[in-house]
Structure 1
Amino acid sequence: MPNLTAPALPAGTLRQMPQPRLTGLRPWREADTPAVREAFSDAGTQRWHVLRIDDDAEALAWIARWPRRWAAEEAASWAIVSDDQAIGQIGLRQISLYEAKAHISYWTLPAARGRGLAGQAVRTLTDWCFGTLRLHRLSIEHSVHNESSCRVASKAGFPLEGTLCGSMLHADGWHDAHSHGRLRGD
């Protein structure tokens, strides 16, 4: 069956280029294993990202999946860095080149929280996604109880668009989610 619209971005848009290093962001590397383990052993990260990493092998597997997901054009992840040391994560999830859109996710290590680093990372990735990649829309969704993530989204220029009822499953059950979004022309 023919589509009535052409893809907004052609297949191959991501995999034809290496994952870029951006200001304060770089692709993950094996040396980031301790930071990944620290993040996913933190109760705050686990609460909102529903993943636990128990050993170096699991952390390395988590790191190793990102080049494959970039090549498959389904997701991407960067280390948020300070002095080239990983202190957080920012990524694109649910990438749709056909519709030129993606969701942004982020976390920071406990010692890096409250310093504006996640917000700066969101602004940097947003600029690249709209300016270089030419995505049409980016969105951020988080539990309505995750006030820190809401502040990051708002300060990074992603206005609250609404609440999605019962749309996120966390370890403690279903959560309503705030939905924030931006268009390339905003």
Structure 2
Amino acid sequence: MTDPTAPVVPVGSMSAGVQPVLGLASGFELRPWERDDAEVLVESCLDPEVQHWNRPGYLSLDEAREKISRWRRRWEAEEAAIWAISRPDGGTPVGLIGLADIDLRSGGAEILYWLLPAGRGHGAMTDATVRISRWALDELGLHRLRITHSVGNPASCRVATKAGFPLEGTMRSALLHSDGWHDEHLHARVRGDR
């Protein structure tokens, strides 16, 4: 069966180029994760906030390096785009933001993010979320981005709302955390939203 609907974003739109470095007004930048960042990834799994809300599990240094390599392969396969949030010129990452579940044909993806204590309180995550959404919608050409988070995580809700992702609803008992099932908020932004 042939699908008569053309893809929203043509195949090859991501993999034809390198993952960009994106500057942020907050003084941070978004850059691809590098093999040398593996120790930060290991440390992030030890942060109670990152562990609770993002459920990364615990990683060895080799597992962290493999995860970073997998992110690069997922860019090339046009399945995900994961950036480190760092100070410019190769600074140590203080957080992560990215697009997961990229579907170029349907024009959608989900934004995911976390910050370490060194990155919190500077407006970096809201800034990064705005920048990633502009890249994904205006430059790559996706149509819809979503953010989901536990209703028990008001910081994530503030980031989504400030970044222009209105709350669309609550998904009941949608995600299992270490302390049980959580309802999740669903926020979304569509190309053309202000």
Same fold (TM over 0.5): yes
> Is 1:151 matched up with 2:158?
yes
Which of residues 31, 34, 39 is equivalent to 1:26?
31
* 1:76-115 matched pairs, under 5 angstroms: 76-83=81-88, 84-115=91-122
> Is 1:181 matched up with 2:188?
yes
> Is 1:142 matched up with 2:153?
no
Aligned twin of 1:62? 67
Q: Distance in 2 between matches of 1:21 and 1:140?
A: 22
Q: Distance in 2 between matches of 1:26 and 1:86?
A: 9
What RMSD in Å do the two structures reach over aligned CA positions? Answer: 1.2
Provide, for residues 56-103 of structure 1, a one-character-per-residue CA deviation record: whole Å limited to 9, x for no partner. Answer: 112111211111111111111000112432110001011010111110
- Poorly superposed stretches of 4+, deviation over 3 Å: none
Query: Helix, strand or coil for the counterpart of 1:52?
Result: coil
Q: Distance in 2 between matches of 1:54 and 1:184?
A: 36
Q: Distance in 2 between matches of 1:115 and 1:62?
A: 27
TM-score (norm 1): 0.95
Structure 1: gaps of 5 or more residues: none
Amino acid at match of 1:29: E
Percent identity (aligned): 48
Provide, for residues 97-135 of structure 1, a one-character-per-residue CA deviation record: whole Å limited to 9, x for no partner. Answer: 011111000001122212211111101111111221011
> Is 1:41 matched up with 2:46?
yes
> Is 1:125 matched up with 2:125?
no
How many pairs does the alignment contain?
186
Residues 162-171 or 150-159, more deviating: 162-171
Query: Helix, strand or coil for the counterpart of 1:138?
Result: strand
Q: Distance in 2 between matches of 1:132 and 1:112?
A: 26
Aligned twin of 1:9? 9
Aligned twin of 2:26? none
TM-score (norm 2): 0.91
Q: Distance in 2 between matches of 1:124 and 1:25?
A: 9
